[in-house]
């Protein structure tokens, strides 16, 4: 079928072979390239359609978003054009993330504005709940562990989504990863304005979002990053209860949603959700990173107490004594209360005690970029390890794919010195993880989210990192020889002294990355490679 995009067409459905609409006569091939197949959604702002790109081999599917201004006055069209261009710039800037649909094209035709994006096949979270019922607490924690690093990435780009809700979150069929859709101005209706309005008034009067999911400050047209945190909290309540905001009662005095009687969750998760859903911005989590810290506090403190990060070869009695000492620190320190945010102080206290006790074993400790403590090799081991990038310190243990993913979901972020060779971690969310000196040869990390992770001195020979999110990742002295980094996002990554011989960087984004021309000479690049200065092309 070929679908007509004329908003006034009374019979938009046509045969696939038709060149013009048989009802209104409009040309059906949009921009001489896109054949619209069917509508996907419609609202006051315009409509979304499934289309096929006939300009590419195989005619792949794509999504066409049509912005329809509600008036044709020159100043309204100019406003719509500015909003449209702003949306395109936003998507162009953040669309390299594996959990955001890529912007493929944008153009204006007959006073209508069009964005063409990557098609994401899968079901929305709203559809999942409608089909399968509400989520368990573990399911919501897993969801948050996937979406919060993405939200932090978006906020780092100075972008507020403003419409986070179950209908805008799709679980992609091919890898089961959460994808966030519908950014910025395209989802908002451009209404009749006045020529004398300031730009701020004109550009914020429509930016309200979805009632019930949007917090008060956003409804008052003053959205902040914490507004997205609130909307994410409401989304969690929907996942746990199956009820939309309009079906949940509110406290008339405070405006707070009365959600707690509707869900059964642990005190820890309830405290996190309460802070996400604070009506006052002052009392709410200010960022996605703060929510992650709140969620990780319980398992992180538990992992500290159990000695997961640094273990000696001492007796069982000595290890038991260490755990008791850790527990004493936790119980006597008010920061160990999940309602407080003093986890760094507690961790520091435990690290200090362990550092002191390990001096007798000839160990020195240092902090990694992610704040995780690991043992530094002795001088002899250090000298030996400097002879080759492949000669890492002794690996602690071999982990299976399921063991690693389960540990990550439970809050563990330290896999330094581990043997992770040939694991299949395609599409996994492992952001902010410590892989320092780990063995990852031939490991499949295609499409994985590894934002801000530490791969210092890690062995990644022939690893599959294609289309992975490696923004702000740390690769100092890592061995990436023969690694597949095609299409990877390496923006602002630290690659100083990394071995890139034979690494495939075709189409990779190296904007702002710490890397030398000498390193790039021995790697494979092409005209699609984005160099550290932000420009595409070869050396």
Active-site pick, 163, 452, 454, 489:
163
Cα separation, 248 vs 332, whole angstroms? 39
> Could you tell me if 428 and 449 are in contact, meaning their C-beta atoms sit under 8 angstroms apart?
yes
Cα separation, 14 vs 67, whole angstroms? 22
Give the total residue count for the chain.
539
- CA angle at 179 for the pair 173 and 185, rounded to the nearest 5°: 135
Distances (CA, A) of 241 to 148, 178, 210, 262, 263: 20, 20, 19, 6, 6
65 is in an annotated binding site: yes
Distances (CA, A) of 388 to 31, 273, 365, 395: 55, 48, 22, 16
> Could you tell me if 170 and 124 are in contact, meaning their C-beta atoms sit under 8 angstroms apart?
yes
Say which DSSP state 378 is in: P
Say which DSSP state 247 is in: G
List 376's β-bridge partners, or say none.
Answer: 364
SS3 state of residue 16: coil
Cα separation, 354 vs 66, whole angstroms? 60
Supply 279's token pair: 């009506």
**163 carries an active-site annotation:** yes
Sorted by sequence, the CB contacts under 8 Å of residue 292 that are 6+ apart come out as: 148, 149, 152, 432
Cα separation, 73 vs 70, whole angstroms? 9
SS3 state of residue 487: coil
Say which DSSP state 101 is in: P
Q: Which helix (H) or strand (E) holds 151?
A: helix 137-156
**275 torsion bin: left (phi>0), alpha (psi -120 to 50), beta (else):** alpha
Cα separation, 335 vs 350, whole angstroms? 13
Residues annotated as catalytic are 163
Q: Which residues are annotated as a binding site for ATP?
A: 65
């Amino acid at each position: 079928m070929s679908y007509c995009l004329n908003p006034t067409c009374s019979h938009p459905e046509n045969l696939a072979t038709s060149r013009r609409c048989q009802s209104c006569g409009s040309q059906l091939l949009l921009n001489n390239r896109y054949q619209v197949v069917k509508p996907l959604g419609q609202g006051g702002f315009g409509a979304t359609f499934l289309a096929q790109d006939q300009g590419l081999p195989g005619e792949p599917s794509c999504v066409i978003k049509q912005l329809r201004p509600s008036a044709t006055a020159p100043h309204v069209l100019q406003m719509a054009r500015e909003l449209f261009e702003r949306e395109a710039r936003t998507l162009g800037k953040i669309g390299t993330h594996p959990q955001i649909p890529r912007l493929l094209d944008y153009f204006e035709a007959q006073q209508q504005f069009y964005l063409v994006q990557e098609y994401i096949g899968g079901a929305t979270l709203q559809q999942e709940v409608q089909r399968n019922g509400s989520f368990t607490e573990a399911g919501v924690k897993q969801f948050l562990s996937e979406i919060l690093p993405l939200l932090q990435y978006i906020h780092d780009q100075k972008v507020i989504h403003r419409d986070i809700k179950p209908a805008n979150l799709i679980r992609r069929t091919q890898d089961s990863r959460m994808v966030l859709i519908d950014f910025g101005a395209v989802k908002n209706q451009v209404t009749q304005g006045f020529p004398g309005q300031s730009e701020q008034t004109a550009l914020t009067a429509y930016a309200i979002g979805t009632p019930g999911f949007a917090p008060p400050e956003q409804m008052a047209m003053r959205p902040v990053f914490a507004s997205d945190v609130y909307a994410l909290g409401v989304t969690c309540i929907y996942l746990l209860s199956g009820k939309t905001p309009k079906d949940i009662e509110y406290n008339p005095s405070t405006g707070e949603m009365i959600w707690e009687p509707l869900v059964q969750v642990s005190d820890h998760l309830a405290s996190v959700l309460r802070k996400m859903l604070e009506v006052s911005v002052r009392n709410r989590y200010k960022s996605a990173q703060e929510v992650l810290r709140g969620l990780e506090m319980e398992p992180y403190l538990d992992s500290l107490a159990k000695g997961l990060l640094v273990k000696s070869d001492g007796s069982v009695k000595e290890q038991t004594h260490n755990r008791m000492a850790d527990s004493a620190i936790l119980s006597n320190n008010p920061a160990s209360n999940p309602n407080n945010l003093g986890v760094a102080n507690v961790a520091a206290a435990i690290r200090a005690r362990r550092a002191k006790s390990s001096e007798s074993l000839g160990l020195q400790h240092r902090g990694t970029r992610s704040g995780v403590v690991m043992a530094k090799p002795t001088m002899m081991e250090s000298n030996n390890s400097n002879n080759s990038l492949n000669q890492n310190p002794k690996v602690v243990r071999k982990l299976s794919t399921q063991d690693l993913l389960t540990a990550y979901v439970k809050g563990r972020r330290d896999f330094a010195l581990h043997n992770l060779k040939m694991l299949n971690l395609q599409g996994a969310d492992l952001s902010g993880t410590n892989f320092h000196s780990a063995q990852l040869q031939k490991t499949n990390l295609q499409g994985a989210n590894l934002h801000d992770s530490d791969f210092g001195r890690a062995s990644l020979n022939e690893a599959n990192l294609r289309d992975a999110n490696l923004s702000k990742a740390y690769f100092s002295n890592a061995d990436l020889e023969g690694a597949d980094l095609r299409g990877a996002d390496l923006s602002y990554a630290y690659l100083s002294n990394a071995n890139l011989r034979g690494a495939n960087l075709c189409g990779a984004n190296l904007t702002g990355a710490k890397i030398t021309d000498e390193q790039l000479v021995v790697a494979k690049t092409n005209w699609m490679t984005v160099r550290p200065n932000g420009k595409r092309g070869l050396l």
